[in-house]
Structure 1
């Protein structure tokens, strides 16, 4: 019997997700491709590994047994890869990082330039995801590391299989049409009567801002629901409402808006998440230090 690592990863993801569609989405394949590979895995093993229950797939006893061994096998492959990295001098490693727009524009250019100068063998490729999705992609092995957020008004639950290192602390500021807030600073409640431009409550950012507004005694009147800070600021510049924007988000600031500090600070932390078993990877630690340096240059260091 010859077992394919590729198919074992699919089996592991199916066990985690419960449906072929969800497993395919996590692995960036089509559902039909995953189904075909899992069917081939059954043929390779010569036994039934799955049972369909409506839209979900349940592993048989043999399927669960193989999944347990798949975790061990794939973990051993990852550890072997890390050991080979450590043995090379200089380091020659490719890492994939999960990012979003303000991190990609505000932190990465300086960090990756520094890294390329000091450790040219380390290549960091990026994949833009919603901040809510990056930690899951690290846990699943799709990414080697990712940037993650935590808000003072809406802390997130943390996966015990991941570790995180704090990189930066950002303040949130009010972004308003020019001249619409006359004072040099504003309480959040001062914005209660303005129309708002805000991310959906499904996002960490949208949820955190709504919680903060409720704590200050009002529910924002949201006229426009958009996810990207740059898009929200562009709409503010057109006079369509107000929003909140982070320090890193200000690197994308368009003309035509005022940025007003809040009298009661709203904070969020930016961290790098990685799998616990990857904590000793030299390349990972060098990337973290480069990003920390970039945050320090911006005055955002922890």
Structure 2
């Protein structure tokens, strides 16, 4: 019997989540791709693992048994990977990181250059996801690490199976059409009469922006709800409203946008999330250290360097 690790991972997610669609979303595959791979797993095993009830799939007793063993097998693979990395004199490994636009453009290039200079055997591949989805992808095993954010007025819920290393603290600014605010700073209250461009309430930035405005005594008049910060800034440049932007987001600013300091104290903390059982993984710690160094070089207030295990 030849058991594929990716198929076992899909089986584990189906067992955890109950539907093929939910498992596919967690692993960032299409539902049809997961269904095909699970059907192949059933053929590999040579036993009935699933019962199809209309459009739903339910695990049989044998399927549940294999899913429970899959949890142990995948955990053992991760522990073996850690042991091999710790035993190597020089680290050669590939990691997959979850990123979003402003991190990918404003922080990651410098970090990967630092990493390549000091540890060329570590390769980091990236997947762009919404910031709200990256931690879950790490928890589910689709990513080795991810960038996550907490706003000073809206900290994210935290999964006990994950840990995080603080990378940087960003300031939040008002982004306004050129000339719209003549002073060097502005309060949110002074922007209350402007039309706003914000992400939706599912977005951490969208929620943090709404809460900040409400704390200043007004409900923002949101004329344009867009998810990408680059899109919001382009709309500001066109004179369609005002928005909020972070330090890393400044790299996405087009001509025609003034960035004005906020009198209201609003910041966001950028961290790297990883599974607790990976906390001693040397390659992961070296990546975190490189990202912190890149953030510090940009003046974003990185915390102390990572302490590596002996021999790394």
TM-score calculated relative to the size of structure 2? 0.92
**Does the CA-based 8 Å contact 1:19-1:55 persist in structure 2?**
no
**Does the CA-based 8 Å contact 1:188-1:262 persist in structure 2?**
yes
How far apart in 2 are the matches of 1:110 and 1:238? Answer: 31
Quote the offset at 1:44 in angstroms. Answer: 4.1
Deviates more, 1:180-189 or 1:3-12: 3-12
Report how many aligned residue pairs link the two structures: 302
Gapped runs of 5+ residues in structure 1? none
Quote the offset at 1:93 in angstroms. Answer: 0.8
SS at match of 1:261: strand
Equivalent position of 2:25 in the other structure: 25
How far apart in 2 are the matches of 1:40 and 1:120? Answer: 37
How far apart in 2 are the matches of 1:290 and 1:64? Answer: 41
Quote the offset at 1:86 in angstroms. Answer: 2.0
Q: Alpha carbon RMSD of aligned pairs, Å?
A: 1.6
Quote the offset at 1:156 in angstroms. Answer: 1.3
Deviates more, 1:208-217 or 1:45-54: 45-54
Deviates more, 1:280-289 or 1:36-45: 36-45
Note if 1:160 corresponds to 2:160: yes
Equivalent position of 1:4 in the other structure: 4
- Decide whether aligned partners of structure 1 residues 191 and 20 sit closer, same or farther in structure 2, where only a CA change above 3 A counts: same
TM-score calculated relative to the size of structure 1? 0.94
How far apart in 1 are the matches of 2:176 and 2:264? Answer: 17
Equivalent position of 1:290 in the other structure: 290
How far apart in 2 are the matches of 1:34 and 1:228? Answer: 29
Note if 1:124 corresponds to 2:124: yes
Deviates more, 1:51-60 or 1:121-130: 51-60
Equivalent position of 1:105 in the other structure: 105
Quote the offset at 1:52 in angstroms. Answer: 4.0
Note if 1:66 corresponds to 2:66: yes
- 1:12-57 alpha-carbon deviations (Å, 9 max, x no partner): 0111232112323333444333223323433444544333455443
Quote the offset at 1:2 in angstroms. Answer: 4.1
**Does the CA-based 8 Å contact 1:197-1:232 persist in structure 2?**
yes
Equivalent position of 2:307 in the other structure: none
Equivalent position of 1:77 in the other structure: 77
How far apart in 2 are the matches of 1:56 and 1:139? Answer: 24
How far apart in 1 are the matches of 2:51 and 2:158? Answer: 32
SS at match of 2:241: coil
- Decide whether aligned partners of structure 1 residues 55 and 301 sit closer, same or farther in structure 2, where only a CA change above 3 A counts: farther
How far apart in 2 are the matches of 1:57 and 1:216? Answer: 49
SS at match of 2:136: helix
How far apart in 2 are the matches of 1:51 and 1:178? Answer: 61
Equivalent position of 2:144 in the other structure: 144
Deviates more, 1:62-71 or 1:234-243: 62-71
Equivalent position of 1:272 in the other structure: 272
SS at match of 2:70: helix
- Decide whether aligned partners of structure 1 residues 33 and 258 sit closer, same or farther in structure 2, where only a CA change above 3 A counts: closer
**Does the CA-based 8 Å contact 1:111-1:291 persist in structure 2?**
yes
Equivalent position of 2:305 in the other structure: none
SS at match of 1:112: helix
Equivalent position of 2:306 in the other structure: none
